[in-house]
């Protein structure tokens, strides 16, 4: 990538320069010394299966097979290896792990037994405001029942994506009303048993400040 493109991204706040004290030679040296030194997060992408067909999905070319039952033993071993080197934050991404991937909640619970860890669920929010739905291999009566179970298993962070303002988001996600359901969940966060709720803004960083922060009590 040419330097001017990088400068534009920095000017837009999308990239941050490394600390000035680090020369390229320093970075190479530190990487050779310990490539894992700055690793703090580990993401489990246990399935590419998803109940959505978003226009922009980076997983679209992936074969969306129904996920096999998750083999927890090797995944717990990964956690056991990651924890001693300082990794404390664990993400479950997909695909839609919330819908598929039976057994991941047990892994989340295992992680949370280790002090100082956090577990985040990245979700498209398809289950919001639904009744009698299946998630993580379990039948839930409604959104609150699912949120309670997430909390019981130590999942305290939910991450939703917003791809733009309402019309654009719903169009890209091919789900009319989804944007509103996500915002409803944020606005009524006092009813949620899982906190904090985070929003990942996929597309419009500039516009977000004017419409997402308006009247909402949450940071994004």
Structure tokens at 8: 């534009």
Which residue among 42, 45, 52, 165 contacts ligand SF4 (CB under 6 A)? 52
E-strand stretches of 68-201: 89-93, 118-122, 131-135, 138-142, 157-162, 197-201
Of 181, 159, 163, the C-alpha closest to 173 is: 163
Structure tokens at 113: 């037994």
Which residue among 44, 46, 47, 54 contacts ligand SF4 (CB under 6 A)? 54
Q: What is the 3-state secondary structure (H, E, C) of 168-206?
A: HHHHHHCCCCHHHHHHHHHHCHHHCCCCCEEEEECCCHH
Which residue among 46, 50, 70, 135 contacts ligand SF4 (CB under 6 A)? 50
DSSP type of residue 43: E
Distances in Å between the Cα of 181 and the Cα atoms of 56, 60, 104, 143 are 20, 24, 25, 11
Q: Which is nearer to ligand SF4, 98 or 117 (CB)?
A: 98
Q: Which is nearer to ligand SF4, 122 or 140 (CB)?
A: 122
**Among the candidate windows 48-56, 129-137, 180-188, 211-219, which touches ligand SF4 by CB under 6 A?**
48-56
Report if residue 95 touches ligand SF4, rule: CB under 6 A: yes
Smallest distance from the beta carbon of 120 to ligand SF4, in angstroms? 15
Smallest distance from the beta carbon of 154 to ligand SF4, in angstroms? 23
Report if residue 96 touches ligand SF4, rule: CB under 6 A: yes
Of 44, 193, 50, the C-alpha closest to 104 is: 44
Interface with ligand SF4 in residues 137-196 (CB under 6 A)? none
Which residue among 59, 118, 134, 193 contacts ligand SF4 (CB under 6 A)? 59
Evaluate the omega torsion of the peptide bond into residue 8 and state whether it is cis, within 30 degrees of 0: no
Smallest distance from the beta carbon of 99 to ligand SF4, in angstroms? 9
Lookup result for tokens 């991404």:
93
Q: Which is nearer to ligand SF4, 95 or 154 (CB)?
A: 95
The footprint of ligand SF4 on this chain (CB under 6 A) covers a number of residues equal to: 10
Interacting residues toward ligand SF4 by CB under 6 A? 50, 52-54, 57, 59, 94-96, 124
């Amino acid at each position: 990538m040419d330097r001017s493109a990088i400068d534009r991204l920095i000017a837009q706040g999308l990239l941050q320069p490394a600390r000035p004290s680090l020369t390229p030679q320093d970075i190479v040296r530190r990487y050779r010394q310990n490539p894992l030194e700055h690793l703090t997060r580990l993401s489990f992408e246990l399935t590419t299966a998803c109940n959505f067909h978003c226009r922009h999905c980076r997983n679209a070319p992936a074969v969306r097979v129904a996920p096999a039952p998750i083999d927890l033993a090797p995944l717990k071993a990964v956690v056991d290896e990651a924890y001693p080197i300082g990794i404390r934050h664990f993400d479950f991404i997909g695909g839609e792990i919330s819908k598929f991937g039976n057994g991941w909640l047990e892994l989340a619970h295992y992680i949370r037994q280790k002090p100082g860890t956090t577990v985040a669920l990245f979700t498209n929010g398809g289950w919001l405001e639904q009744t009698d739905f299946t998630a993580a291999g379990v039948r839930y009566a409604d959104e609150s029942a699912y949120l309670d179970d997430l909390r019981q298993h130590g999942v305290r962070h939910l991450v939703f994506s917003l791809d733009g303002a309402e019309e654009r988001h719903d169009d890209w996600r091919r789900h009319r009303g989804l944007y509103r359901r996500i915002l409803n969940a944020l606005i009524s966060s006092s009813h949620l048993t899982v906190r904090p709720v985070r929003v990942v803004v996929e597309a419009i960083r500039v516009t977000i400040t004017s419409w997402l922060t308006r009247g909402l009590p949450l940071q994004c």
